[in-house]
Amino acid sequence: MSAKDRERTRKIVSLVVRVDLGLETIKKDALEMLSDVFEKYIRAISLHASRYAEHAHRQHPNLFDLLITLEKIDVFSYSAEDLLKYLEKQKPLVKDIAQYQTKIVAAAAPPEQPAPAPYGERTLPEYIPQHFPLFPPLHTYSKCRYAGKRDEQQWATIIRKEQEQLRIVDSVTNLLESIEKSPENQ
């Protein structure tokens, strides 16, 4: 919502409050200041609720995030069940809300990782190439066919196959170029 839209909404809300509550005699500036404070208060509550949702690895806050936020700022101390009963009476579509633990549990400290060893001293399983960085869960590396180091004969075979493939690609490229240059295609 842009600043212009917020200002327009705030003016409409202040007008509705003045008319509906019979506060026509209240000064316009005082009511706009009150609605501005209310807007900042709502924005702060939504920010804290979204931070609780982010802490729970969700993109959007739900009712329980709002409940925790309101409890933390001492607005009210209803339980989640009381709030859900109230909302079930008001809006039947609010029933299906993902549960969220209402007590915040301190996260456990991450396990200490060993300091990186010099390149020659690393001891990784055979199926992990030595040039890969040390990765904590070793099971995430997939095993490959060549467990261990390759000898000179294996490297020579690999290089020979690569050279054959390059020769084939070059011959196909030359053939295509000669076809394009032929007088029949021009």
Helices and strands in the chain: count of H runs, count of E runs: 5, 0
Considering the entire predicted model, what is its pTM? Answer: 0.34
- Looking at the structure of the chain, the number of domains it has is 2
Give the pLDDT of the chain (186 residues) as one tens digit per residue.
566 776 777 777 777 767 776 666 666 677 677 777 777 777 888 888 888 888 888 888 877 777 778 778 776 666 666 666 666 665 544 444 455 455 555 555 556 655 555 545 556 667 777 676 665 555 665 666 655 666 788 888 888 999 999 999 999 988 888 888 877 766
Residue 10 sits in the same domain as residue 90? yes
Query: What is the C-alpha radius of gyration for the chain, rounded to an integer number of angstroms?
Result: 34
Residue 63 sits in the same domain as residue 129? no
Closest CA to 132 of 143, 121, 119, 144: 119
Residue 81 sits in the same domain as residue 36? yes
Residue 17 sits in the same domain as residue 83? yes
Within-domain flag for 105: no
Domain hosting 168: range is: 119-181
Within-domain flag for 58: yes
Tokens of 157: 């075979």
Tokens of 70: 């309101």
Residue 7 sits in the same domain as residue 82? yes
